[in-house]
Amino acid sequence: MPVIGRIVKSNSHTDYVCQVFAPRETEHDPEPQDYAFGRFVKAPIDPADDRTAVGIVYDTILLNPEYGSLGPRLNPPSEQATLAPDYLVEKATAVGIIIVGLQEGDTVEHGVISLSLPVDAEVSSLDDDDTRRFHLVDERLALGYLPSLISHTSPLVTELGLTVIRQLLSLFPEPGDQRLLRTLAAHFSWQARVTPLG
């Protein structure tokens, strides 16, 4: 489970901003697919226990202080690393994360959680097994976070729902689960593709 970054800010109780680690900032640089749109991620609520908040990457923000400074500089770009070493790290990638549940051991809770993440909490992406485990409640496929997810104000929310369901379609191949997911996928597909044109 690659660590992708740390929590730097929150917009609300469920909406956090995670700054993705820059190259060589960690042992394993995060790959772009680790913090891709719709990726499930988790972050420990308290390092002292195993409660982790599970969220979904819903947005990506590129931070670039150089943008807008269009005037000439005295030092050439090749010397910038020597003359202003902190300047480079100001370029960063941040991702927006919606918290959709809580995992504590084998227990899973979907929806708005009561606890919040601390600043600097390390965010790591969920692998397929963890993602599947997070979606099993009482050994049944569950997406109990979906209502709170789609109530988010992001314009990408229906596309996000569709992306999430597509992931789950590959993780839950059982026919019964496939029928349920395809029914949901059809709904989101309509909402994302047809309704905006109507």
Partner 1 sequence: MIIGIAKGPGDTPNEYTFVTPDTARRVKTSEFVYYEAEVDGIQRQILGRVIRRIPLRLYPDSFLAHPEVDPAQMAALVGYADTSAPSGDSNGPGIGSAELFEIHVSIMGYHDAQLSAFVNPRIPPRIGWKIYLAPDAALAEVLNRVAFDWNMGEANPGGAFVGSLLSRPAFSPQADQPDGVPVVLDVRSITATHMAIIAGTGAGKSYLASVLIEEMMKPINRASILVIDPHGEYDTLEEIRNAREFSANGSYKAEVKTVPQDQVKIRVSDLTFYDMRFLLGAQFGLSGPMEYVLRLALDRVEGERKDKTAWTTNDLYAALAYMQDGEDETESGQVRHSRASSPPQEARNPSSGDGDLDWLDDVGKDAGKDAGSKEPQGTRGKPDVQMRGSARALDWRLRSLFAESPNFDNIETINLHDVFRPGLCSVLQLNEIDRRQQQVIVAVLLRMVWKARMNAAKGIGSPQDRLDYPVFILLEEAHHFAPANEDVVTTNILKTILAEGRKFGVGVGLISQRPGKLDSDVLSQCMTQFLLRIVNEYDQSSVAAAVESASHDLLAELPALSKGQAIVAGAAVNTPLSIRVRQRITRHGGIEPDAPGEWAKYFSDEARQRREVDDSGLPEGPPRGRSNLFYKSRDRR
Least Å distance, CB 166 to partner 1, is: 16
Of 35 and 145, nearer to partner 1 (C-beta) is: 145
How many secondary structure helices (H) and strands (E) does the chain include?
A: 5, 9
Of 68 and 175, nearer to partner 1 (C-beta) is: 175
Of 106 and 138, nearer to partner 1 (C-beta) is: 138
Least Å distance, CB 181 to partner 1, is: 8
Least Å distance, CB 36 to partner 1, is: 24
Spell out a b/e string for 82-91, using b for 16 or more CB atoms within 10 Å of the CB, else e: eeeeeeeeee
**Which of these, 62, 112, 68, lies nearest to 90 by C-alpha position?**
62
CB 16 within 8 A of CB 45: no
Least Å distance, CB 144 to partner 1, is: 3
Query: Phi/psi class of residue 147: alpha, beta or left (left: φ > 0; alpha: ψ in -120 to 50)?
Result: alpha
Of 63 and 136, nearer to partner 1 (C-beta) is: 136
CB atoms within 10 A of CB 174: 10
Binding region for partner 1 (CB under 8 A): 110-111, 138, 140-147, 179-180, 182-184, 186-187, 190
